[in-house]
Amino acid sequence: MEVVSRGEGPLLGWHDPDEQRRWVRENKPRRMTDKRMGLKESVSKYVSDGDYLAMGGFGHVRVSMAAIYEMIRQNRKRLILAGKTAVHDCDLLVSSGCVDRVEVGYCFGHELRGLSPSSRRMVEQGRVTAVTETSNAGFQWRFKAAAMGLPFMPARILMGTDTFAKSSCAVARDPFSGKKIALIPACYPDVAFIHVHRCDRFGNSQIDGVSIMDCDLARAARRLVITTEEIVDDDVIRSEPSRTLIPFYCVDAVVEVPFGSHPGNMPLLYYSDEEHMALWLKLSKTEAGAKEYFDKYVYGVKDFNEYLELVGGQAKMKKLRDIELLKAPTEAPWAE
């Protein structure tokens, strides 16, 4: 296949497919064993300084925020983040100094709420680098190639743009149509955290609502921690096997964290906490304000449960559930 051009971005998270197959054979836990552990342990065991990290979910939706707070508490450094529409997770990891390089799909913004004052400041001051650019489908298909054990996935995106020029993709001549085609390289993150609605002790996981990129990300990541709203009996999974999106052999650890997506949305369970988002967006306008946030909500608590108490506890969680179920109006305090 004739290669026409190549992006100049570094190829992050890539492995030769045979090297990856050997790694899987030697390292992935393919027996159906009980993988339950605590959040602290899962982060200390599976997240190392310098890792390429990918989070499941999308934007403020179904992201394992409890794991993000724990990574900051454990002071991980030099992480590279897959910015696959990474919003609050990216903003916090960049602002706290855990992440110094980002592969950018969508980052440094909070969707309708506006841009991220803090992580933008870090990039604009040169303290964090956007090393590679891609698109959301670019990420999706990096993970899909990896999930299929392929070196790349062909796609008709990115071509002709500066996004391509700053990507790690190539453009080649398709031997069948004779047309140009983008080759999206596989991506095997060192570690991924995916937050799900329920799973069993082995990690067989169900997600309610949109799955976004998580089926492929789960199969692509070398290490995968499932954080879950609830660990259910084995029978719950076995009674409806067509609902399992992530099978046990992809999973390295299972951590039960109710409300683990807070302050983000967990579809059908609780809506995003816009009051808390407005607080962060206001405080993070200055570096001192961002530090105040971390001191209070991350370093000032011993774990995620203490954080939940601090942000409003049961009463707040009930309110977010009512908003999610359309029993209470959605709020947008950042729009005032």
Partner 1 sequence: MSRMQKQGFQTVELMASAASKLIEDGAVVLTGSGLPMIAMALAMKTRTPNVTLVFEAGGIAPQIPVLPISVGDSRTFYRAVMATSLDCVMGTAQAGFVDYGMLGAAQIDMYGNINTTVIGPHDRPKARLPGSGGANDVGSLCWRTIVIMQQDSRRFVKKLDFLTTPGYLDGPGGRERAGLPEGTGPYRVVTQLGVMGFDDQTKRMRLISLHPGVSVEDIKANTGFELIIPPDVTVTTLPTAEEIRILRNEIDPAGFVVRKQGT
Binding to partner 1 by residue 27, rule CB under 8 A?
no
CA 332 – CA 287 distance, rounded (Å): 24
Is there a cis peptide before residue 263, judged by omega within 30 degrees of 0? Answer: yes
For partner 1, the closer of residues 47 and 182 by Cβ is 182
Q: Of 112-120, 230-238, 290-298, 301-309, which part binds partner 1 (CB under 8 A)?
A: 112-120
Taking alpha carbons only, the member of 164, 236, 173 closest to residue 206 is 236
Residues numbered 49-108 forming contacts with partner 1, rule: CB under 8 A: 57-61, 83, 85, 87, 104-108
- Polymer length of the chain: 336
Binding to partner 1 by residue 281, rule CB under 8 A?
no
Among 97, 149, 247, 267, binds partner 1 (CB under 8 A): 267
Binding pattern to partner 1, positions 164-203, x when CB under 8 A?
Answer: --x----x-------xxxx---------------------
Torsion region of 95: left, alpha or beta (phi above 0 gives left; psi -120 to 50 gives alpha): alpha
For partner 1, the closer of residues 183 and 253 by Cβ is 183
Binding to partner 1 by residue 216, rule CB under 8 A?
yes
CA 122 – CA 90 distance, rounded (Å): 12
CA 172 – CA 79 distance, rounded (Å): 31
Q: Of 33-41, 42-50, 128-136, 219-227, which part binds partner 1 (CB under 8 A)?
A: 128-136
Report the side by side order of strands in the sheet with 244-246. Answer: 198-199, 205-206, 244-246
CA 133 – CA 163 distance, rounded (Å): 6
Q: Which two tokens stand for residue 137?
A: 């489908």
Judged by the rule CB under 8 A, the positions of this chain that interact with partner 1 are 57-61, 83, 85, 87, 104-109, 111-113, 115, 120, 123-124, 126, 129-130, 133-138, 140-141, 144, 155-163, 166, 171, 179-182, 209-216, 265, 267-268, 271-272, 274, 324, 326, 329-332, 335
